[in-house]
Amino acid sequence: MSHRIFTLTDTAKDKHMTLDDAVNSGEIKTVETFETYDDTLDAFFTRYCDFDVYGIE
């Protein structure tokens, strides 16, 4: 199972959606994928640490 870091699509940004709203409406795109959840967390907290812009799945 792979894990990913995702962000808002341009459409979601144009509509000023929150990350939660974008997830619920499918307006997210993958930024980076990882084999393990630990690698995903490490990348998130070292490179993407903005809870309003990025999410983990």
* 38 part of a folded domain: yes
What pTM, to 2 d.p., does this model score?
A: 0.84
Burial of 22 (0-12, 13-18, 19+ CB in 10 A): buried
All residues at 6 or more sequence positions from 36 whose CB lies less than 8 Å from its CB, including other chains: 3
DSSP strand pairing (3-8 vs 54-56) = antiparallel
Assigned domain for 17 exists? no
- 12 within domain boundaries: no
Q: Does residue 9 lie in a domain region?
A: no
Q: What is the pLDDT of residues 21-43, one digit of tens each?
A: 999 999 999 999 999 999 999 99
- For a pLDDT cut of 90, what percent of the chain falls above it? 91
pLDDT for the residue numbered 29: 97
- Average pLDDT of the residues of the chain: 95
